[in-house]
Amino acid sequence: MAVRQLVRGADRTVADLLGLRAVAEEDVVLVDARDLDPAEETFLAASAVRRCPVDRVPVPDRPVYLHLDLDVVDPQDVPGLLFPAPGGPRLPAFTAAVRDVLAGGSVAAVGFACTWRPGSGADRILADLAREVAAPR
């Protein structure tokens, strides 16, 4: 789990070689993650990482890195996902939450994650979301 490496809960050999600092667990909010393996559940249960649904994302009051993983979106809205997790938020709700966080003015950087089958159309959905995020406010 990438979050575990981010907060120094796993091997950080590469991160340490690059001089990347760990993030405090209490500064991490994991939104709508539901398809977790037992080790992830155990780690999160004992950590200070906060979890919330997409309709309750806190708007940060200081600079943040916003990581957008489209695997949390209901797969009926993003066809061809390699790791679909049914029951997630619909794409409009996901996009609205992203807009709310961006409107807070504290996003320093944005990263996207999405693995899909070529030709499924997911690339167009990701491109549309990237344009939305990059649009001047």
What average pLDDT values come out for the chain (137 residues) when binned by 10 residues?
A: 80 84 88 88 92 90 88 92 91 92 88 91 91 81
Supply the pLDDT for residue 105. 85
In contact, 73 and 122? CB cutoff 8 Å: no
**β partners of residue 69:** 113
**108 shares a domain with 68:** yes
Supply the pLDDT for residue 119. 94
Q: How many domains does the chain have?
A: 2
**74 shares a domain with 28:** no
Instruction: Report residue 2 CA to chain centroid gap.
Output: 10
**23 shares a domain with 68:** no
Report DSSP state, residue 50. E
DSSP 3-state helix, strand, coil percentages of the chain (rounded to 5)?
40, 15, 45
Rounded to a whole number, what is the largest CA-CA distance in the chain?
41
Supply the pLDDT for residue 16. 86
**128 shares a domain with 89:** yes
Supply the pLDDT for residue 76. 93
Q: For the chain, give me the number of helices (H) and strands (E)?
A: 5, 4
Supply the pLDDT for residue 51. 92
**β partners of residue 111:** 67
Distance from C-alpha of 75 to C-alpha of 81, rounded to nearest angstrom: 7
Q: Which domain holds residue 10?
A: 1-52
The token duo for 111 is 């990263």
- pTM reported for the whole predicted model: 0.83
Distance from C-alpha of 51 to C-alpha of 56, rounded to nearest angstrom: 10
Supply the pLDDT for residue 1. 67
